């Protein structure tokens, strides 16, 4: 009889120490799109029995909007050090990490973690997941045909109006992120990347508005990545890893689209994405377990090999595919890192001023 079989199964589960009423634990993750090796997620689920519910976003504004109302339901998020992670730390919105539950914390690079400590004293709330720079994604085959001797080591290629006009027909784009674009534009203009002085912001706004008529799009990073990979644009200001992913997709497509990444020679914007647990996370134990799992060298090496962003676990380098670990656009040289800058923390008033500037730029006025 069916009911007898059900009772027998019930008794067998009790004898094995399993409660038929106990739900499978769930870990709710909110991360950037295209930012993990799916096999890493599968292996964690198989190893721990914890089911992962995985949601994605493509801008910091989306992440912060989701968290701003509280009770987001997420157990693990991956905010960028500035400004989102810094704001969440100041607001008390993150749970301090219990390092006794993260033995693989010792695998992290102390020098890189020290850079994050400026916004998270003692590194109490976050562990570096991946990092990178902001620079230019270039479709090299299109530039060879259109402008063989174009200057490629500077934002001049995009931000000088004459250059933008010359390249407009092959497609120009700037990612839709005031947070990640304005510091680079200010640096290019010879201003302090952290400045909120009216004169400096005017200079940045004028530079952006001067090339605005020549831009094909101001998309989110995920959309921009796809546009680069398909060859719809030939110069874009965006994240290093997105350009490198676009290059890999273009090669796989085999349509002759060649993509390369160039960090500005004057110094690139350096950013870090942090593994963090919201203060109201429903399953913080599962979040700690996942952080510890991600910091294993073999796991983090698989992630870097898949998404082509560098990580902060030095022991991964021999495990990462040679084509990735030896690519200076993935792992910048020590000289490039010395010239790179990490943006500072802005006040709410300064952030509002930059937001208004960005909205005017997007509107083209």
In 56-77, which positions are buried (b, 16+ CB within 10 angstroms) versus exposed (e)? Answer: ebbbbbebbeebeeeebebbbb
pLDDT given at position 245: 87
pLDDT of residue 334: 84
What kind and span of H or E run contains 109? none
List, by residue range, all CATH 3.40.190.10 domains of the chain: 19-131+271-338, 132-270+343-363
Per-residue pLDDT, 259: 96
Considering only CA atoms, which of 245, 248, 259, 238 is closest in space to residue 170?
259
pLDDT (average), residues 220-239 = 94
Task: State yes or no: pLDDT of 11 exceeds 60.
Answer: no
pLDDT at 23: 65
For the chain, list the strands marked E by DSSP: 26-32, 51-57, 76-77, 127-139, 172-174, 235-239, 259-262, 269-275
Listed range (78-87, 183-192, 198-207) with the worst mean pLDDT: 78-87
Q: Which residues contact 211 (CB under 8 A, 6 or more apart)?
A: 158, 159, 161, 164, 172
Which CATH class for the 19-131+271-338 domain? Answer: alpha beta
Q: What CATH number labels 132-270+343-363?
A: 3.40.190.10
Of 148, 307, 142, the closest CA to residue 235 belongs to 142
Cα Dmax for the chain: 83
The rounded distance, in Å, linking the Cα atoms of 161 and 142 is 19
What does the mean pLDDT of the chain come to? 90
Q: 14-55: per-residue pLDDT in tens? A: 344 444 445 678 999 999 988 999 999 999 999 999 999 999
For the whole model, what pTM was predicted? 0.82
- Separation of alpha carbons 347 and 195, rounded Å: 11
- Token pair for 345: 């923390």
Q: Residue 136 in contact with residue 158, Cβ under 8 Å?
A: yes
**For strand 51-57 and strand 127-139, is the pairing parallel, antiparallel, or unpaired?**
unpaired
């Amino acid at each position: 009889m069916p009911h007898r079989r059900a009772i027998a199964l019930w008794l067998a589960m009790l004898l094995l120490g399993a409660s038929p009423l106990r739900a499978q634990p769930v870990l709710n993750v909110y991360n950037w799109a295209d930012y993990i090796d799916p096999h890493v997620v599968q292996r964690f689920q198989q190893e721990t029995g914890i089911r992962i519910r995985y949601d994605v976003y493509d801008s910091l504004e989306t992440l912060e909007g989701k968290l701003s109302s509280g009770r987001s339901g997420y157990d693990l998020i991956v905010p960028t050090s500035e400004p989102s992670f810094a704001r969440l730390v100041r607001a008390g919105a993150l749970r301090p990490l219990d390092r006794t539950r993260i033995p693989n914390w010792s695998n992290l690079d102390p020098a890189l973690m020290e850079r994050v400590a400026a916004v998270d004293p003692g590194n109490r709330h976050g562990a570096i997941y991946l990092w990178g720079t902001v620079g230019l994604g270039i479709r090299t085959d299109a530039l060879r045909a259109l402008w063989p001797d174009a200057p490629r080591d500077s934002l001049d290629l995009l931000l000088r109006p004459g250059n933008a006009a010359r390249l407009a027909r092959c497609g120009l784009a700037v990612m839709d992120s005031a947070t990640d674009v304005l510091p680079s534009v200010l640096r290019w203009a010879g201003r302090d990347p952290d400045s909120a002085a009216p004169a400096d912001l005017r200079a940045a706004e004028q530079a952006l508005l001067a090339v605005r008529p020549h831009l094909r799009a101001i998309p989110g990073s995920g959309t921009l990545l796809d546009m680069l990979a398909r060859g719809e644009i030939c110069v874009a200001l965006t994240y290093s890893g997105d350009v490198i992913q676009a290059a890999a997709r273009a090669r796989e497509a085999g349509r002759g689209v060649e993509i390369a990444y160039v960090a500005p020679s004057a110094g690139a914007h350096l950013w870090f994405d942090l593994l963090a647990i919201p203060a109201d996370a429903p399953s913080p134990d599962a979040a700690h377990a996942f952080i510890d799992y991600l910091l294993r060298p073999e796991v983090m090496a698989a992630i870097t090999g898949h998404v082509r962003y560098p990580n902060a676990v030095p022991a991964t380098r021999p495990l990462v595919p040679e084509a990735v670990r030896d690519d200076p656009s993935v792992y910048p040289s020590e000289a490039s890192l010395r010239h790179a800058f990490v943006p500072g923390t802005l006040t709410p008033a300064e952030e509002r001023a930059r937001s208004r500037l960005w909205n005017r730029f997007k509107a083209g006025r």
